[in-house]
């Protein structure tokens, strides 16, 4: 990673800390809602981690049954925002979820649980092709 990319990546860590601060201070949750946060540079930030209930899926039922990965970036219409590094890391992270949770059967986007555009068309298409 060159110096410019390192500076941009430092912004990713600051964004994750800001998200965590918002979830703790404003939402009054114990930690960031997500189990993992993935940035466009292909790095994974551990939120609640494996095995801890998510608070990010929008409903109690969804949070009880699914863990949550947040992509730290945009998924703008008509633009490929998910970098090759992020795609590769997401695939590896999903494979690790599958290894740790062999009874898990599906990967679902946030929009399956609540009316939202999240995670965006590009990520929704990618998720539909991934398997645990």
Q: What CATH number did the domain enclosing 93 receive?
A: 3.40.80.10
Q: What is the pLDDT of residues 19-76, one digit of tens each?
A: 999 999 999 998 999 999 999 889 999 999 999 999 998 899 999 999 999 998 766 6
pLDDT tens-place string over residues 64-119: 999 999 998 766 666 677 889 999 999 999 999 999 999 998 999 888 899 888 88
Nearest to 69 by CA among 113, 34, 119, 19: 34
Domain coverage including residue 32: 3-129
Q: What is the C-alpha to C-alpha distance for residues 14 and 9, in angstroms, rounded to an integer?
A: 9
> Could you give the number of structural domains in the chain?
1
Cross-strand bridge partners of residue 37? 45, 70
Predicted model pTM: 0.88
């Amino acid at each position: 990673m060159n110096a410019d990319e390192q500076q941009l990546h430092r912004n990713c860590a600051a964004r994750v800390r800001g998200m965590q601060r918002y979830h703790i201070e404003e939402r009054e949750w114990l930690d960031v809602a997500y189990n993992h946060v993935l940035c466009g540079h292909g790095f994974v930030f551990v939120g609640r981690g494996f095995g801890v209930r998510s608070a990010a899926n929008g409903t109690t039922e969804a949070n009880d049954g699914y863990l949550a990965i947040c992509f730290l970036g945009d998924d703008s219409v008509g633009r490929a925002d998910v970098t090759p590094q992020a795609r590769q890391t997401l695939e590896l992270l999903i494979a690790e979820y599958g290894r740790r949770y062999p009874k898990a059967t599906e990967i679902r986007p946030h929009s399956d649980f609540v009316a939202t555009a999240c995670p965006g068309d590009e990520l929704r298409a990618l998720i539909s092709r991934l398997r645990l």
